[in-house]
Amino acid sequence: MSKLEKGLVQVYTGNGKGKTSAAFGLALRAIGRGLKVHVIQFIKGGFDYGELYIVDKLPNIKLKAFGRGKFVTQRPPGKEDVELAHEAFALAEEVVKSGEYDIVILDEVNVALNLKLISLEEVLELIKDKPKHVELVLTGRHAPEEIIKAADLVTEMREVKHPFNKGFSARKGIEY
């Protein structure tokens, strides 16, 4: 299949569940149509997520996760968290600008922005400079207003009801 004629910028944000799942649904649909997808996960490295077990078995999709397997709670963030986020962003720039992939998903990049692990200016620059045919997907809570304005499609997942509030724990294969 040929490259996309026009790649857009999509944002999945909000406090509800399903942002990463929506991005992976898009990835699955795309590889089913022969498109090439690269997923770069910010702050998720070192965690045990189900998607890590299947990606290597699927055609035309790559995934690289960055992070140290702990939630980033320190403000300002620690040096190691900043360095890992910069590594993730350097890969994102390389992958997007190469034009080799039809879809590039920057999973949790909005959280990395909110935590000040990377700069808003460099993400906006990447959006502006992406090749015409590359679809760029940015996920994570707290998408900055500037990212929302730069996007072509924005979906906000809003929590209405969640089993965590009744004491349910995260379930393997469902939440992770």
Q: Is residue 62 part of a domain?
A: yes
Confidence of residue 74 (pLDDT cuts 50, 70, 90): confident
Q: Is residue 91 part of a domain?
A: yes
Give the pLDDT confidence score for residue 2 in this predicted structure.
55
Q: Is residue 169 part of a domain?
A: no
Confidence of residue 1 (pLDDT cuts 50, 70, 90): very low
Tell me the sheet residues that pair with 154: 11
Instruction: Please state the pTM of the whole predicted model.
Output: 0.95
Tell me the pLDDT of the chain averaged across its residues.
Answer: 95
CATH number for the domain including 120? 3.40.50.300
Question: Which two structure tokens, joined as six digits, stand for 6?
Answer: 């026009």
Confirm if 45 and 66 have CB atoms less than 8 A apart.
yes
- Give how many domains the chain has, as a whole number: 1
Residue 11, burial from CB neighbour count under 10 angstroms (0-12, 13-18, 19+)? buried
Q: Is residue 173 part of a domain?
A: no
Structural domain for 36, as ranges: 9-159
Question: Which two structure tokens, joined as six digits, stand for 39?
Answer: 């997923």
> Cα(84)–Cα(95) distance, rounded to whole angstroms?
17
Q: Is residue 113 part of a domain?
A: yes
Q: Is residue 25 part of a domain?
A: yes
